[in-house]
Structure 1
Amino acid sequence: MAKDGTNRGGARPGAGRPRKALTEKISEGKKAEVMLQPAELTAADIPPVREFMTAMQRDGTTLCAKEVFTETYSWLKDRNCEKLVSRQLIEQYAMSISRWIHCEEVVSRTGYIAKHPTTNAPIASPYVAMSQAYLKQANVCWNQIFTIVRENCSVEFQDNPQDDMMEKLLRSRK
């Protein structure tokens, strides 16, 4: 406690040893609790993709956000975790990945170097920085999704849809 009576500093939430996955706790014979047990509802296989995820881009291309959303939602559904992850988080992840792929496609077409608008001097392409920002945002979203699945999935899983993102990028180039 500080001199002024406020409780600053100290242990931070989430600091320390990483939490064990639910499957690890079960295999060790420990008591394992699921974060949240959703009500058993039967719903459509995959919710409809919202319109903004399939909108035509200014350069005439379409984003692959619908594909990423569908693939991620299916991956969650296979592990019975689709009710634990909010739809908005899945949409954020899908849009971040598709924007990253779009930026990488533009970098491939235009190159890493651009002209300065007033001096015409060579500068780094702004699409490179945008690509890095979208990739960072996608990784943050994916880590949130994966943490929820790891802590609540009672079945071992090996496949990870994020591993296929580079393959998607390469397939999108024609």
Structure 2
Amino acid sequence: MAKDGTARGGARMGAGRKTKALAEKISEGQAATVMEFTDAAQFQGEDIPPIKDYLKARQKVGSLCAEEVYNETWKWLKERGCAAIVNVQLVEQYAMSVSRWIQCEECISEYGFLAKHPTTGAACASPYVAMAQQYMKQTNQIWYQIFQVVKENCSVDFQGATPQDDVMERLLRTRRGV
């Protein structure tokens, strides 16, 4: 608390030593606490939770590949045993953010980097460029949250591709219509 009565100062967000992954702690012989969810809800009979309608909604411009991203991400989480501890809404946000980024990139490809200013008629930067940058930033932030949960809860090192690695490949596939 500062002299003027406002709550300022203190530790900065993200300051300090970074937490080690569970697999790192185990390999170094450190004591590691593994969280056991005994009273957690058990998902039975479904590989993937039902996909919300807004992830499959028809779009005015471009296609929405959120359902595909959602399925791939959920399967990836399930293979690592982390599907029960990652919030479903986080995966939905990630899928929607990736699909919106791809939509913006498709619009940039179709309309170009320049647009006509609505009042002066002069050339100006396309609004799709800024939107694409914001969606990509949002996508990365959400992915880091998902990946942090996986990293902190996997007891063995994992290898192979992640859904985040395939984002650019998905963009290229949508341009070809595959």
- Asked if Structure 1 and Structure 2 have the same fold, meaning a TM-score greater than 0.5 normalized by the shorter chain, the answer is yes
State the alpha-carbon separation in 2 of the partners of residues 53 and 23 from structure 1.
34
- Cα distance, 1:140 vs. partner? 1.0
State the alpha-carbon separation in 1 of the partners of residues 19 and 115 from structure 2.
45
1:76-134 deviations in Å (ceiling 9; x for gaps): 10111111111111000000000000100110011000111121100000000010111
Identify the residue that residue 154 of structure 1 maps to in structure 2.
155
The RMSD of aligned alpha carbons is 1.9
Q: Which is further off, 38-47 or 111-120? A: 38-47
In structure 2, what residue type is equivalent to 1:52?
Answer: Y
- Cα distance, 1:30 vs. partner? 0.7
Identify the residue that residue 88 of structure 2 maps to in structure 1.
87
Identify the residue that residue 49 of structure 2 maps to in structure 1.
47
Q: Secondary structure at 1:97's aligned position in 2?
A: helix
Q: Which is further off, 77-86 or 11-20? A: 11-20
- Cα distance, 1:36 vs. partner? 6.3
- Cα distance, 1:42 vs. partner? 3.7
- Cα distance, 1:48 vs. partner? 1.6
Q: Secondary structure at 1:123's aligned position in 2?
A: strand
Aligned residues: 173
In structure 1, what residue type is equivalent to 2:24?
Answer: E
Identify the residue that residue 165 of structure 1 maps to in structure 2.
167
Map 1:3-152 → 2, pairs under 5 A: 3=3, 8-12=8-12, 14-34=14-34, 37=37, 39=40, 41-43=42-44, 44-59=46-61, 61-152=62-153
In structure 1, what residue type is equivalent to 2:16?
Answer: G
1:53-96 deviations in Å (ceiling 9; x for gaps): 1111112x330000000000111101111111111110000000
Structure 2 unmatched runs, 5+: none
State the alpha-carbon separation in 2 of the partners of residues 123 and 17 from structure 1.
44
Q: Which is further off, 106-115 or 31-40? A: 31-40
Q: Secondary structure at 1:156's aligned position in 2?
A: coil
Structure 1 unmatched runs, 5+: none
CA pair 104-28 structure 1, distance change in 2 beyond 3 A: same
Q: Secondary structure at 2:34's aligned position in 1?
A: coil
Identical aligned pairs, as a percentage? 61
Contact 1:36 1:84 in 2 (8 A): no
Contact 1:55 1:62 in 2 (8 A): no
TM-score, normalisation: structure 1: 0.91
